[in-house]
Structure 1
Amino acid sequence: MKRRRTAFTLVELLVVISIIGVLMALTTAGVQAARERARRMECANNLRQLGLAGTLHDTSKGQLPGYVQDFGFFAGGVDPSSEVGATVASHRKVGTWAVALLPYVEALPTYERWTEDRYPILSDSSDATSGEFEGNGFHPYAAPNLAIFQCPSNPVVSGNRGKNCYVSNNGMCHLRRDGSSITGVSFSTSQARANGIGNSKYNIASVNASNGKGTRTSQGPKVRIEDMKDGAGNTLLYTENVQAFPWHRAGLIHGADLKSATLPTPYDVTFDANTTAKVEAARYVHGVVWHYEDIAASAAASPTWNSSVGEAPIVVHSLHRINGGGTGSDSTSQDRFVKVVSNMQDARDLARPSSAHNDGVNAVMASGAVRFIRDSIDYRVYQAMLTPQGKQSDVPWPEFVMTDQIDN
């Protein structure tokens, strides 16, 4: 008589367990991939809204926002929003391109905080000169964490206020990697309409002690969507950067940098975007730039280098490519802060699109279209995307620029 088996053998159990393990691994990978696709789509939607906001700003203000702007002045006194009647010192309200877009991204109360003179943007707390990853002296109501500035794939580690993952197209970097000048290029010329979108709208080298007024020099021109001769669909507005600084903070300034105990009210504050490292960083911690570099650096390889610059470019540095060229050379936001303080070269090197997505970054064009740009992109194409008028720009090889414009 045949004996009836009442249990699985060890081999059968191991086979079943193995099959379950394989199925779980496949399912987990599929779920993770689906989640990343959803996060990437949410990030793209954030940028689409920022692109629309930039368009609305252009329509209502007659220009796209600069990477640093003046939003008014608080004369000092009691903060109307304080429940305990806190008194705040007088200060200038200097902010970023992101502040300018607030009314168009459903953040009007925060925008009013910046633009109405009765409200301060600084707090009365003691962190006005300290706390790099805290408030930097800014009022919580002036620097809230807004979802539209945060990519869900990017774990922002810098700061507990104004968390940010997005930056603007700030055009040409007017310096070489070692900080030396490029022949025929200055800070002012690098801000030309042909070279990029975002530029400095508040640039003051010194302030007159008798009247508190500063002379605004080297400010960039107005840039409108209609100025984009290469086509709005070929010109980048905003993109991702995993080292982006808090959206409200212009460069490395603290709240104390916006105050003065000696100048008559109202007053300007010294904010020299060309020579002061703390302020110069504003161009790089809130934007992406293109460098005077090319894939072929020898004159023999390409004898038609830009004659307006007057020198051949150097070979493209890997750090200047999107995501560092996909080499894994990125660092975290907090690491970037340490780098920027010690060496401005690191700030310039990291001012390029980067993300936590695989193989590339999201970006919104001036037309409102969102594109996923691979980190393997040709650097000349990258330069073309950042220059609204490529053939008139200072790129090393203008003839390469993607454009339908006709030479005059």
Structure 2
Amino acid sequence: MQGWFQKEIRTDKSVSGVLTGRSGRSHIAGFSLIELLVVIAIIAILVALLLPAVQQAREAARRTQCRNNLKQFGLALHSYHDSHSTFPPGVSSSADGLQVYANANAMLLSWFEQSALSDLYNMEAEWHSQSPNVASQVIPLFLCPSNSKTNPFEISQLAILGVPIGTRFAATDYVYSRGAADAWCSALFQGQKLPGCGVFAPNYGARLRDVTDGSSSTMAMGEAAGGSGWPLCHGSGCTEVFEGSDGPVAASNPWILGPVSNTDLFNLGIIVSSNWGSTVERLNKRPVTDTMADLTALDDCRSSASGGTHSTSGFRSDHTGGAHFLFADGSTHFVSDSINQTVYQSLSTISGSEVVQWPAQ
């Protein structure tokens, strides 16, 4: 009986992780070093296999949100069109372009459920005279989650325009299409439609009936990523990054921004992108061409592709392989950055009479 009872005790101990040998001494069960290293290696392999899938899932979610933001722009633009029988002008300005007031973003604020901010915006005052509290207001809908940058940010060079020093600007990652035109000639500000024009221009927003190429085949807006990954260069076709006093100057698009830069401002060190996008240059060109009016050629309305000396930034995104675009009918499409350039430009004009086969997605 004693031996049987002692055996039972030993059996219980082994179940609880304690082993008893012939000597009566106990040993704690555990992993050997080799077994531990094998487990760690297996975990590392699993992480290496799963991490790309997790990252892809996150980027897919960011891309979906980015596209949905553009859809909200489409709803706002069509609500505006229902009320005014036209899309809003890309920006309102004096006929000579010297006084620049509200841009399309500001005009759409109330349709973005930003009525309080809209009430603060003085539509009768120039864009740079708005309250710093308005300029710095971050609007989540205006931001693509795939694009990382400082937001809001400061553009100290704008002090020359009367912008209070220290004013910070909130960004937008979506810009309005100028089509395959990029000139900033005087006639443009006076309402003249340029060859290759898009849905938007200064003092002009197209009516749906003006989009004779078909609203489902005409880009209205597209992505325009900013931040240090998108440095600026000067002049259409440029390849050399512009170096400012603090290093390369990055493309940045304040949602409130109205005007474009010009040769006089450039000579003072001001170089900017804008709230406009053009298809004159290829999609996702890097570095980004600046947006600038050549004050010595205000009578020249030719695009830079035809020898003109003005320039407009192109569309770009932080998504791999292309960018999202909003079309005039309110639909959204992801356009590959390997798209044929002629097709790309044809998709951006409102009345070019081109026959375009929509590229496979």
Q: TM-score range by the shorter chain?
A: 0.5 to 0.7
C-alpha distance 68-321 of structure 1, shift in aligned 2 (>3 A): same
Task: Say yes or no: does 1:147 pair with 2:140.
Answer: yes
C-alpha distance 38-390 of structure 1, shift in aligned 2 (>3 A): same
Conserved 8 A contact 1:66-1:96: yes
**C-alpha separation in 1, matches of 2:323 and 2:109:** 23
Q: Which of 211, 217, 224 is the equivalent residue of 1:234?
A: 217
Deviation at 1:249, TM superposition (A): 1.4
**C-alpha separation in 2, matches of 1:120 and 1:350:** 22
Structure-1-length-normalised TM-score? 0.57
Secondary structure of the corresponding residue to residue 94 of structure 1? strand
Q: Which of 282, 285, 295 is the equivalent residue of 1:321?
A: 282
Deviation at 1:116, TM superposition (A): 6.2
Letter paired with 1:286? N
Letter paired with 2:49? L
Letter paired with 1:357? H
C-alpha distance 36-48 of structure 1, shift in aligned 2 (>3 A): same
Matched residues, percent identical?
26
Structure 1: 5+ residue stretches without partners: 72-91, 124-136, 202-219, 254-272, 292-319, 392-397, 404-408
Deviation at 1:109, TM superposition (A): 2.0
Deviation at 1:172, TM superposition (A): 3.1
Equivalent position of 1:248 in the other structure: 256
Conserved 8 A contact 2:142-2:172: yes
Query: Which has the larger strand fraction?
Result: 2
Deviation at 1:283, TM superposition (A): 11
Equivalent position of 2:107 in the other structure: 100
How many residues are treated as equivalent by the alignment?
Answer: 275
Letter paired with 1:139? P
Task: Say yes or no: does 1:286 pair with 2:279.
Answer: no
Structure 2: 5+ residue stretches without partners: 1-20, 155-167, 226-250, 296-303
How do 1:231-380 residues align onto structure 2 when only pairs under 5 Å count? 231-242=214-225, 243-251=251-259, 285-291=274-280, 320-324=281-285, 329-330=286-287, 351-380=313-342
C-alpha distance 321-340 of structure 1, shift in aligned 2 (>3 A): closer
**C-alpha separation in 2, matches of 1:402 and 1:195:** 20
Deviation at 1:286, TM superposition (A): 1.0
Deviation at 1:233, TM superposition (A): 1.1
C-alpha distance 169-112 of structure 1, shift in aligned 2 (>3 A): same
Conserved 8 A contact 2:92-2:101: yes
Conserved 8 A contact 1:238-1:363: yes
How do 1:6-405 residues align onto structure 2 when only pairs under 5 Å count? 6-70=29-93, 94-115=101-122, 138-141=131-134, 143-157=136-150, 158-159=153-154, 160-174=168-182, 187=188, 191-192=193-194, 195-201=197-203, 220=204, 223-242=206-225, 243-251=251-259, 285-291=274-280, 320-324=281-285, 329-330=286-287, 351-391=313-353, 398=354, 400-402=355-357
**C-alpha separation in 2, matches of 1:340 and 1:365:** 23
Moved over 4 A (4+): 4-7, 119-123, 186-190, 275-278, 281-284, 339-345, 347-350
